[in-house]
Structure 1
Amino acid sequence: MDRRRFLATQSLTALALLTGTSGLRLAHAAGIPVSIAESEGHSWAVPFVADAGSLWAKNGLDASTTHFTSGRLTAEAVLAGKADFATTTDSVVALAALQGHKPVVFAEFANSSTQMLVAARKDKGVNVPADLRGKRIGTFYGSAGHFYLNQYLKLHGLTPKDVQIINLRPQEMVTALAQGSIDAFNWDWWAADAAAKQEGKGNVHVLSTDGVEKVYTSHFLLITNEQTAKAKPAALQAAVRALIDAEAVFKNDFERAVSVLAERTKGSLDASRNGLQRNHTEVQLAPRLIDDLVANAEWAIAEKIAQPPANGDLRALYAGLIDKSALAAVAPARVKL
């Protein structure tokens, strides 16, 4: 055994006390090789914990990870065959399917209605959501943030035609808001904190999220492609076990999860705790996932971002992308579809 694997195996002993796994499973330091495309941000804390605690290895995977700035880019890597698994959102899956791709969803590990938000500049006259009318709003086109913006505007009696949407990469939004080239943006909540600090004059603030859960829930998913699903069913089951073990860390030692997230995002413990408290952490496949995939698709079709499927049956389209077999084999009670 090489030094890296030896150290990884040793570090699992304490974590096993949290997750309740046996010494037999700890022995599985070497396993099925898989590549995982990971996105950045607080939404992905569950796989971060799995990675930090060597839970992939413990459950039989030899996992390597590549980092991307958004769930759209991770999904593209999986669909192109450049990664076996990806962390992404339901919005990305919905659009990919309408474009003729076939991402395979085999686990949801968390969801949230308040990880996304709208940050705005008060000195540009944006004090309440209704003030967004006529303003320049940055978002990442075709992403979960773009869909959130649509739903947020609708919640407050506005449409995309009432604003000017600017397509920006996530890493560009903070600077654009601070420099005043946009009046608001919507993305992860932590970006607003960064924008406020960079702008430095107290002008950046977060608009109200009251009632947003009625129109928006983002689902944080582990997906694969058809080839991997068929060729590596044991790998899918192992990944599900690792996610469930990571969920146990959240329940049994929440501060450990906070620490892992802070390290991965280079943020403070307080900010990481805030981010995690916005999430509902549970490995599952539940009906609202399909409901929200359909809602995403209806938005994309209405906005002419995508074309409807040939048979017009969105619910059947998305139900066909969900592979329940891995979760059903590992923890059947978590399959609620």
Structure 2
Amino acid sequence: MMHLSQIFWSGFLLLAIPALAALKVANNLEVLEWTPALIAKEDYYNGTVSIVNGGIPSLSSDTSVDLGANSETQLLRQYASHKNLRTVLTTAEVYYRIVASKKKGIEKLEDLKGKRIGAFPSTSSEYFVQTLLATVGLTPSDYTVVAGGACLKEPCGSNTFPAMLKRGAIDAIGMWEPSVQLGAEAIGADAIIFEQTLYREIYGLATTAEKLADPAKRKEIVGFVAALVKAEDVFRTDPDKVVARAAAAVKTNATLFREVWPVHRWTARNPLDIVDVMLEEDKYVARADRRTPMARDVLETLVDRTLLADALKLIESTERRE
């Protein structure tokens, strides 16, 4: 079935709405997932937007920030103590992978027992590793999670996971891209990659209930989300138009970005299962943060589906005027 953005945006270059005031968006500028926001800003948003380094925590630490983006683990961590947060749009769903060294006797997931796995503790990276390895009966006590750094392109620093894998300091890497791909390239024919569809990072935008209740601010956010819908459509259907710019934005190279593109589902939506996913995942976040997991009704309040609906209406009305 044709995506709504394909119906409403075909051949359309700029969202034809009145000029908007300045909007401030906080993103982790060292991950690939933020790059649709750049294309939305530069190609489709008819207003001024500032994209700064940060994320969902910025919404609480800096009241000038209107939107923040992170994975669902960080969203849960912040929402536990800031119940005014609202997630309004998923911009990327990323199916993490594990790369391991066959020289360490790893041919299947079960062989990771007793091994050292590079991952970021208390993040979607570690949660992914735990979730995937649990499917073959491994618990966190069966392997060691080793902290390190991400790498966006060669040469990778000595403290980054690809370099650690190459010199044998770790036996595998489990996290977001492109560190997994770079790890595979670092060890060449020795690499074995485990693909999966059990877990996907849900990287999305959040704002606050107060900003959604402010008519002027809500109008700005709706306009930017509408621009993101268009940007996501290009990422999904014609990536050659944006891959070089997106790669440059995170200081990687387009060839590497193309390699990991299929791991990403570039989408602008509110997943129907997002509450179910967060309900299960919050058990992990709550243990890490030493609190009680949040109940379903609490997590349902976190999800706002009205803003995307308003953005799609804006797209439709704009298309009718053309």
TM interval, shorter chain, is 0.7 to 0.9
Task: Give the equivalent residue in structure 1 for 2:113.
Answer: 133
Task: Summarize the alignment of residues 142-291 of structure 1 with structure 2, pairs less than 5 Å apart.
Answer: 142-171=122-151, 172-197=160-185, 199=186, 202-203=189-190, 205-209=191-195, 212-213=196-197, 215-231=198-214, 232-250=217-235, 253-291=238-276
Q: Could you tell me how far 1:236 is from its partner in structure 2? A: 1.8
- Are the equivalent residues in 1 in contact too, given 2:27–2:53 (CA < 8 A)? yes
Change in CA separation of 1:157 and 1:332 when aligned onto 2, cut-off 3 Å:
farther
Instruction: For 1:153 and 1:91, locate their aligned partners in 2 and report how far apart those are by CA, in whole Å.
Output: 18
Instruction: For 1:122 and 1:52, locate their aligned partners in 2 and report how far apart those are by CA, in whole Å.
Output: 44
- Aligned AA for 1:233? R
257-266 vs 125-134, which moves further? 257-266
Task: Give the equivalent residue in structure 1 for 2:12.
Answer: 19
Instruction: For 1:18 and 1:87, locate their aligned partners in 2 and report how far apart those are by CA, in whole Å.
Output: 28
Q: Could you tell me how far 1:126 is from its partner in structure 2? A: 2.7
- Which of 4, 10, 33 is residue 43 of structure 1 equivalent to? 33
Task: Give the equivalent residue in structure 1 for 2:93.
Answer: 111
Instruction: For 1:227 and 1:292, locate their aligned partners in 2 and report how far apart those are by CA, in whole Å.
Output: 26
Change in CA separation of 1:179 and 1:305 when aligned onto 2, cut-off 3 Å:
farther
Deviation per residue, 1:288-315 (Å, 9 max, x gap): 11111112112334x4544225xx52x2
Change in CA separation of 1:100 and 1:253 when aligned onto 2, cut-off 3 Å:
closer
- Which of 303, 307, 330 is residue 291 of structure 2 equivalent to? 307
- The share of aligned pairs that are identical, in percent, is 19
Count of equivalent residues: 295
- Aligned AA for 2:99? A
Q: Could you tell me how far 1:20 is from its partner in structure 2? A: 5.5
- Are the equivalent residues in 2 in contact too, given 1:98–1:308 (CA < 8 A)? no
- Aligned AA for 1:153? L
TM-score when scaled to structure 1?
0.76
Instruction: For 2:297 and 2:99, locate their aligned partners in 1 and report how far apart those are by CA, in whole Å.
Output: 36
Q: Could you tell me how far 1:202 is from its partner in structure 2? A: 4.3
Deviation per residue, 1:55-78 (Å, 9 max, x gap): 23x2x3x2112235xxxxx22222
Q: Could you tell me how far 1:237 is from its partner in structure 2? A: 0.8
Q: Could you tell me how far 1:99 is from its partner in structure 2? A: 4.7
- Are the equivalent residues in 1 in contact too, given 2:41–2:227 (CA < 8 A)? no
Instruction: For 1:183 and 1:194, locate their aligned partners in 2 and report how far apart those are by CA, in whole Å.
Output: 14
Q: Could you tell me how far 1:106 is from its partner in structure 2? A: 0.9
Instruction: For 1:179 and 1:241, locate their aligned partners in 2 and report how far apart those are by CA, in whole Å.
Output: 46
Task: Give the equivalent residue in structure 2 for 1:7.
Answer: none
Change in CA separation of 1:163 and 1:251 when aligned onto 2, cut-off 3 Å:
closer
TM-score when scaled to structure 2?
0.80
- Are the equivalent residues in 1 in contact too, given 2:173–2:183 (CA < 8 A)? no
Change in CA separation of 1:306 and 1:296 when aligned onto 2, cut-off 3 Å:
farther
Change in CA separation of 1:219 and 1:120 when aligned onto 2, cut-off 3 Å:
same
Q: Could you tell me how far 1:153 is from its partner in structure 2? A: 1.0
- Are the equivalent residues in 1 in contact too, given 2:99–2:173 (CA < 8 A)? yes
Q: Could you tell me how far 1:206 is from its partner in structure 2? A: 4.1
- Which of 14, 17, 22 is residue 33 of structure 1 equivalent to? 22
Change in CA separation of 1:333 and 1:274 when aligned onto 2, cut-off 3 Å:
farther
- Which of 43, 60, 66 is residue 52 of structure 2 equivalent to? 66
1:90 counterpart = 2:80: no
Change in CA separation of 1:238 and 1:118 when aligned onto 2, cut-off 3 Å:
same
Secondary structure, aligned partner of 1:141: coil
Structure 1: 5+ residue stretches without partners: 1-15, 69-73
Instruction: For 2:125 and 2:278, locate their aligned partners in 1 and report how far apart those are by CA, in whole Å.
Output: 14
149-158 vs 264-273, which moves further? 264-273
Deviation per residue, 1:166-189 (Å, 9 max, x gap): 233435323332333222221223
Secondary structure, aligned partner of 2:11: helix
Instruction: For 2:75 and 2:10, locate their aligned partners in 1 and report how far apart those are by CA, in whole Å.
Output: 35
Change in CA separation of 1:99 and 1:177 when aligned onto 2, cut-off 3 Å:
farther
Q: Could you tell me how far 1:252 is from its partner in structure 2? A: 5.5
Q: Could you tell me how far 1:243 is from its partner in structure 2? A: 0.8
Secondary structure, aligned partner of 1:220: strand
Change in CA separation of 1:333 and 1:320 when aligned onto 2, cut-off 3 Å:
farther
